[in-house]
Amino acid sequence: MATPEAHDLDRARLRLAWALNIIQNSQGDVVYKKQITASKGMPRIISIRLPGVLRISDALTGDVLAESAPGDLLNLAPGFIPPSYNR
């Protein structure tokens, strides 16, 4: 299999930058957003934000309940401390 030429890789990088620019200009940093009803009927908002951060928020208060590390959706962001709840 042939190795890609440097200019082909540069063009691919430019395409990624172009696509990212379109996403950022059309919807800010939110790539995906959906409201769900979690256990006990609590409304939650799940969103994926640039640069690849998964966030779960309380739909009523806006509190961030969990937030991933950028590009690592299954691991909490470094230093993330969830809010305290007595529910």
Domain locations in the chain as residue ranges: 29-87
13-39: per-residue pLDDT in tens? 999 888 878 877 776 788 889 999 988
38 alpha carbon, distance to own chain's centre: 19
Q: In terms of pTM, does the model score above 0.75?
A: no
- Which phi and psi angles does 2 have, rounded to 5°? -75, 150
- H or E element, residue 22: helix 6-27
